Amino acid sequence: MKIGIFAGGGESTLEEAVERIVQAERDGFASAWLANIFALDALTVLALAGRETSRIELGTAVVPTYPRHPHSLAQQAATVNAACGGRLSLGIGRSHKLVIEDMLGLTYDKPIGHMRDYLEVLRSLSDTGNCAYKGDQYTVNAPLQVEEGAGFGLFVGALMPRMLELCGQLCEGTLTWMSGPKHLEKNIAPVLNAAASAAGRPAPRVIASLPICVTSDEARAREEAARLFTIYGSLPVYRACMDEEGADGPADLALVGDARQVKEAINRVRDAGATDFYPAVFPSGVEGEDSERASYDLMASLGGKV
């Protein structure tokens, strides 16, 4: 299993965001992932980081689809892929009704049909530089002339069966968040692998992410995780993942404990079918304890894989 790092969601300066990725490459991580939420544009950051790095995989986890036309996103992704020498992995997702409808005023409608159309357009433009597609929600007849950026990796934040099947048919893999080992082993990996096999595609990647904290006080750290990640317990798709795992809330899914315990927990994620893991490091809340540094150092010590 390859080990990456969650490099943030834009809650820093542009210079800091780029330097964090540059440092991750120096420290041996296999990949660096950025969320695209309400701050820095993730793809722009990755384009800049791509000019300062040479090896590390650069990914979005994830860019919401509803606010962007798929041709426009393909154009930006191909340009970023050219900037980083072919190392871009474009992760996309539907986001949530709370964001798309309540905050942005768009329609959060027909998610499976929307994503199928979106992926068909992205897949065609990435693979061939042209698209002639008529779907229920998107009709696109247009080229994309960014040849040096062709072939960017395509991933979906897919957690439930129908979306995983679609992902297996059209993508290189899935990106998961708040999906623990039980859910990965029972519901994620088998559905995704079966769909890819039926479509004649290569074995897909399962790129998993969970909160981690190396700490001397597990109970206090779980209290902090409950506070920091509380919103995910109320979002329907993540709540469903937690129910499958038998978890009361996000704190139960966090990988928490001393370095040995956290490493063992990461190994359980690997054994459940994850091909890649990138942690979301969080502070323990214990006074005087630099748990974020301890967590980062543990991940760096793994040399990019376990």
- If you average pLDDT over every residue of the chain, what do you get? 97
Residue 97 burial class via C-beta count within 10 angstroms: exposed 0-12, middle 13-18, buried 19 and up: middle
The residues, ordered by sequence, that sit 6+ positions from 260 with a Cβ below 8 Å of its Cβ are none
Would you state the structure tokens that stand for residue 176, as one six-digit string? 């998961």
Predicted pLDDT at 292: 97
Distance from the first to the final alpha carbon of the chain: 5
Is 239 inside a domain boundary?
A: no
Q: How many CB atoms lie within 10 A of CB 45?
A: 26
Has residue 191 been placed in a domain?
Answer: yes
- Can you give the pLDDT at residue 12? 87
Is the pLDDT confidence value at 8 over 90?
Answer: no
Q: Residue 25: inside a domain, yes or no?
A: yes
- For the chain, percent of residues with pLDDT exceeding 90: 98
**Structure-derived torsion over alpha carbons of residues 172, 176, 181, 186, reported in degrees to the nearest 10:** -60
Backbone angles phi, psi at 212, to 5 degrees: -135, 150
Q: Is residue 235 part of a domain?
A: no
State the total domains in the chain: 1
CATH number, domain with residue 42: 3.20.20.30
Q: Write the CA distances from 295 to 12, 225, 263, integer angstroms.
A: 20, 14, 10
Query: What is the residue range of 158's domain?
Result: 2-217+257-301
Q: How does pLDDT run across 249-263, given as a tens digit for each residue?
A: 999 999 999 999 999
pLDDT digits (tens, 9 = 90+) for 197-247: 999 999 999 999 999 999 999 999 999 999 999 999 999 999 999 999 999
CA dist 180 and 162 (Å) reads 19
178: in domain? yes
The average pLDDT across 42-55 equals 98
Residue % of the chain over a pLDDT of 70? 100
In a domain, 150, yes or no: yes
Cα dihedral across residues 214, 215, 216, 218: positive or negative: negative
On whether residue 227 sits in a domain, the answer given is no
Which of the four pLDDT bands, split at 50, 70 and 90, describes residue 9? confident
DSSP sequence for 144-188: ---GGG---EEEE---SHHHHHHHHHHSSEEEEES--HHHIIIII
Residue 286 CB contacts under 8 Å (≥ 6 apart), including other chains? 215, 216, 217, 220, 221
The pLDDT score that the predictor gives to residue 10 is 72
- How is residue 145 written in tokens? 């002339």
User: Per-residue pLDDT tens for 268-287?
Assistant: 999 999 999 999 999 999 99
pLDDT at 11: 75
State how far the alpha carbon of 62 is from the alpha carbons of 25, 37, 41, in Å: 20, 8, 11
Report yes or no on 240 lying in a domain.
no
Q: By CB neighbour count within 10 A (0-12 exposed, 13-18 middle, 19+ buried), where does 243 fall?
A: exposed
